[in-house]
């Protein structure tokens, strides 16, 4: 199972192994591989078959519940207008980029290069078109992960979460893997190296009424940190943010901000459930929550990666 997990990571295949269905699929694939080389005894075969049968019952029940979800039904009716005409309608409908973009991606970006890369994340079989099963896989993942904590009451909010929580993080990870950091960048430093002259206005202090408009500037890449002055992790992040902002001071299209959540109300679309919380938006793109390592090299690599994504 570990070998398959590493293969998926190398091949940039999205699998949610934190969910029981993803873990079951990994177990099934591992069993098939081991069984094919004849290394399992008859007793092990029988025991594994029983486990897989019980897992499948759980999976069928989970899939059935989500297939009956009102938003999944609405998404299917929208994606497949001729719903019910033929038994294989799901397999027949393929949406290429020129059709998928105006319906699903245009509200989030007007950059066709970025839209094309977002499209490839959902096009898991690399066929050049997105089918309903590919789209609904992402939709079901979003519902399982966020329905308990977020309001998902329309197809638009469902698609919005698919973009912000699935597509953009996956795209960033893919770009960072293709542009691996230098060897010395892999060393995590306990404190930032203050090797550049800091500007007092390098990281802009924001308030609740200004953070949304500032962070959503269409033609700028923005990174905003939501923090509590008393939080030890926030105290570690803020000087790192100063160093990163100073390092990018020569690029006017990249701006950095911070907001004290103890003195300001966090507006939508931002959500702060842990401290510190970082939101990142590439120029012409859509803001998403950065959950990676919060040291200088990782943040600089994120900023540099955005150029490959958004330009």
**190-310 topology per CATH:** Glutaredoxin (3.40.30)
Domain spans of the chain, in order of start? 2-67, 72-178, 190-310
Question: Would you call 274 helix, strand, or coil by DSSP?
Answer: coil
Query: Has residue 300 got a pLDDT over 80?
Result: yes
- What's the pLDDT at 249? 87
- What's the pLDDT at 197? 37
Question: Would you call 52 helix, strand, or coil by DSSP?
Answer: helix
What is the distance between the alpha carbons of residues 69 and 72, in angstroms, rounded to a whole number?
Answer: 5
Query: Has residue 241 got a pLDDT over 50?
Result: yes
pLDDT (tens digit per residue) in 164-223: 888 877 776 665 544 333 333 333 333 333 333 334 458 999 998 889 889 988 888 999
Greatest mean pLDDT among 32-46, 82-96, 221-235, 273-287 lies in 221-235
Greatest mean pLDDT among 117-121, 140-144, 234-238 lies in 234-238
**Contacts of 59 by beta carbon, 8 Å cutoff, 6+ apart:** 21, 24
Token couple for 75: 């998404």
Helix (H) or strand (E) holding 257: strand 254-260
- What's the pLDDT at 9? 61
Question: Would you call 181 helix, strand, or coil by DSSP?
Answer: coil
**Contacts of 175 by beta carbon, 8 Å cutoff, 6+ apart:** 305, 308, 309
Query: Has residue 256 got a pLDDT over 90?
Result: yes
- What's the pLDDT at 85? 43
Residue that wins the pLDDT comparison between 254 and 190? 254
What is the distance between the alpha carbons of residues 241 and 162, in angstroms, rounded to a whole number?
Answer: 28
Greatest mean pLDDT among 56-60, 61-65, 149-153 lies in 149-153
What is the distance between the alpha carbons of residues 94 and 167, in angstroms, rounded to a whole number?
Answer: 19
- What's the pLDDT at 142? 85
Q: What is the mean pLDDT of residues 260-276?
A: 88
Helix ranges, the chain (H): 2-10, 20-36, 42-67, 70-79, 89-92, 97-100, 112-122, 132-146, 155-161, 168-178, 211-215, 232-247, 296-310
Question: Would you call 200 helix, strand, or coil by DSSP?
Answer: coil
- What's the pLDDT at 237? 92
Query: Has residue 280 got a pLDDT over 80?
Result: yes
Percent of the chain surpassing pLDDT 70: 75
Mean pLDDT for the chain overall: 76
**72-178 topology per CATH:** Recoverin; domain 1 (1.10.238)
Residue that wins the pLDDT comparison between 306 and 42? 42
């Amino acid at each position: 199972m570990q070998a398959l997990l590493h293969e998926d990571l190398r091949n940039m295949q999205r699998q949610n192994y934190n969910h029981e269905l993803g873990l079951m699929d990994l177990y099934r694939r591992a069993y098939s591989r081991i069984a094919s080389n004849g290394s399992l005894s008859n007793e092990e075969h029988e025991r594994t078959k029983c486990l897989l049968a019980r897992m499948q019952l759980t999976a069928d029940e989970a899939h059935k519940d989500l297939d009956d979800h009102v938003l999944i039904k609405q998404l299917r009716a929208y994606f497949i207008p001729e719903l019910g005409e033929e038994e294989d309608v799901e397999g027949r409908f393929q949406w290429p980029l020129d059709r998928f973009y105006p319906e699903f991606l245009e509200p989030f970006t007007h950059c066709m290069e970025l839209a094309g890369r977002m499209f490839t994340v959902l096009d898991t079989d690399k066929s050049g078109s997105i089918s309903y099963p590919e789209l609904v896989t992402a939709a079901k993942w979003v519902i399982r992960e966020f329905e308990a904590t977020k309001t998902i009451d329309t197809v638009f909010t469902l698609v919005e979460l698919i973009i912000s929580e699935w597509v953009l993080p996956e795209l960033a990870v893919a770009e960072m893997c293709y542009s691996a950091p230098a060897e010395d960048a892999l060393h995590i430093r306990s404190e930032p190296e203050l090797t550049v002259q800091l500007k007092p206005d390098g990281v802009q202090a924001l308030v609740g009424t200004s953070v949304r408009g500032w962070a959503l500037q269409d033609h700028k890449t923005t990174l905003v940190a939501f923090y509590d002055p008393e939080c030890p992790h926030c105290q570690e992040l803020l000087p790192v943010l100063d160093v990163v902002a100073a390092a990018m001071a020569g690029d006017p299209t990249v701006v950095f901000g911070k907001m004290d959540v103890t003195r300001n109300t966090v507006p939508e679309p931002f959500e702060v459930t842990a401290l510190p919380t970082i939101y990142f938006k590439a120029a012409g793109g859509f803001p998403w929550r950065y959950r990676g390592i919060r040291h200088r090299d990782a943040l600089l690599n994120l900023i540099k990666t955005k150029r490959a994504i958004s330009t």
